[in-house]
Structures are given as C-alpha cells and as structure tokens.
Amino acid sequence: MEKTSVLIIGKYAEIECNIQRYESHFVVTQVNNLEEIGQIRKAERVKIKAIAFKGHSRFDLRIIKQFPSLVIIANFGVGYDTISVLDAKKLGVVVTYTPDVLSDDVADLALALLFGVSRQLSLGLDWIKSGLWPIRGEMPLNKRVSGSTCGIVGLGRIGFEIAKRLESFKVKIHYFSRKKKNVSKDWTYYDNPVDLAKSVETLFVSIIGGPVTHGFISTEVLKALGPKGILVNISRGSTIDEKALLNALEKKRIFGAGLDVFENEPNINPRFLQLGNVFMQPHQGSSTRETRQAMGDLQFNNILHYLGSGKALTLVPEMQ
C-alpha cells in the first residue's frame, strides 16, 4: 500500500520533530518556510494530504490551493493566527493546534517577566557585573509583587494557569473575558479591559492574536493602568498598540513592561533597546525541551489520527 504524502514546513529543532517517526508512516517532504514551497515539483504537491506547519508567515488561500489533496494543516503552537482558518474551511481542510501542553511553561515565563520588571532583575545583574555594588552600595528600591492586585486579559488555558500561580503569592485576581467564567468566587470579573486596568497593579495579556484582537491593549487601557502599573504580554505582539506602549514606557506613564512577544519579530522596534523599564525575552514562552517535544508529539498525532480515522485530537476552536 502506497504511503500518504506529508509536507513539513518550518525550522524545527530535532526534539520538536521526529523525522524518523514521520518517515515510518508517510512519504515526507520538508521545506524551511512557505517561500520554499515553489521548489516542490507540482507532481509532488498534488499528492500531499497533510502539512505540519511551524512558522509565522501568512498561510492563506493562495498557499492552500497549491495542495489540491490537502485535508489537514497541523500547526505547531497554540497561536494559529497566521493560518486563515476561514480559507481552510472553504476548501474542506481542517486545522489543528497544540493547546494545553505548553500552558505551564508560558504561565511560568509570565511570572518571570513580572518579577523581571518589578524586582528590576536586569539592573540587579548589571549592578554586580558592572562593579557598581561596592562603589554605590544597594541598588534602587523596587516594587513588591506579593499581596498586589493583578488583572488578566483573557482567561483561557494560559490565563487560568497564570492566575493559579499568582494565588501562591497572595495576589488578588481580577480578569476580563468575553463572558464570566466558572472560577473562584474570589476572582473579580470585568466586562471591559479599561475598567480592569484601572483596578489592578499588573495587567497580563493572554488573548489570541489576529485581526480581531489587533491593538486590543490600547492607549486608553495603558492610561487606565497608570504610572504604577506593569504590563506583561505573553500572547502576540499584535495584541498591543506597540507605539502607544513605547510612548507610555518612555514617558513613564506606566511603571514598566515584561514582554516575550513583539510586532515584527525578530526585528523589534529599536526604541525598546533604549528602555530601562522593560524586561524582554525573545518569544520563548514554550521553549523548554519537555514542552517542545510534547508539542511535536501532538502535532504528529493530530496528523496520524486524522489521516487514519478522520478525527483530529485538537481542532482549533473555529472547527469544533
């Protein structure tokens, strides 16, 4: 029996994508990005039934139509805003993603970003390495986390894990979501992000990317957060009005920001590099060996199960 053809798109670490496992089940073609699809001969493209995708380029109708036998796009990651689910549905192609397995790591990093800003961890390291400690003594005092009030914009899987961790620090939890969630009675619900921002000291952003949330954290939200407020973003760079955020940081309209995501990654706005009140990471929320292996396993199993039974393990919400 002839093996099914599968295309793997993206630059995967070895632990993220077990090629031998794919090759034991499928005929495998690999490219580094969507731009290299043109290198695949048409005779091969028409046979491809599944695509394993890791990347941030726009995966839309123009791309999908090049694979007339395609039935599934399995995304590597919980964020799938670069894939046009609407276009996929039009052509009868299902889209899957890798939720849950990365929630803990992203939530862990969210708290690390908070402490990086509030306790000025970059400054503390520089205080030692630069030799300032014996010369100037103690570094400037910073901001307490325990017992503070934190708000979460988007109480999905990751937002919920952030909240549960914050409870360990005696933090009061406030949140915004499209509807009130069945959570602890001690958590306070808000039906708009501005009122939430007015009520908290730290605002975590944990919402999906894409056009519907572009610039969701606006000038108005940042103004409501105020000069003592901290913003932490582990979602997508597009969810924040980045120019408004840079202005707020430069003019000290907020205390600081912890950022793992940016617009135009990896070529971020150079204004960020001049700031002392931002703690940054290079989009590495899920970047542990354990989680990346689990994400690769789930991506593979979505393809294997769908091609074998017509049922995917983790369809994106729009297809459930």
| Active-site choice (44, 250, 265, 318) | 265
Q: Is 56 a catalytic residue?
A: no
Instruction: Show contacts of 44-48: CB within 8 Å, 24+ apart.
Output: 44/5, 47/5, 48/5, 48/6, 48/7
Phi, psi angle pair for 297, to nearest 5° = -60, -45
* Both tokens assigned to 27: 């005929």
- The first and second tokens of residue 82, run together, are 């670069």
Which contacts qualify for 186-191: CB closer than 8 Å, 24 or more apart? 187/163, 190/151
* Cα gap 32→193, rounded to integer Å: 39
Joined tokens for residue 121: 């961890």
- Type of residue found at 124: G
Could you tell me if 316 and 150 are in contact, meaning their C-beta atoms sit under 8 angstroms apart?
no
Catalytic annotation present for 265? yes
Q: Distance (Å, rounded) from C-alpha 190 to C-alpha 214? A: 20
Choosing from 45, 174, 283, 292, the catalytic residue is 283
Greatest Cα pair distance in the chain: 75
Tokens at residue 208, please? 């999906």
Contact 303, 52 (CB under 8 A): yes
Contacts of 236 (CB under 8 A, 6+ apart): 79, 81, 208, 209, 210, 213, 261
Instruction: Based on the residue annotation, tell me whether 236 is a catalytic residue of this protein.
Output: yes
Tell me if residue 231 falls in helix, strand or coil. Answer: strand
Given a contact cutoff of 8 angstroms between Cβ atoms, the answer to whether 262 and 272 are in contact is yes
H or E segment and range at residue 127? helix 121-129
- Among candidate residues 45, 174, 236, 292, the one labeled active-site is 236
What tokens does 261 get? Answer: 């995501």
d(CA 320, CA 309): 16
**Residue numbers annotated as active site:** 236, 265, 283
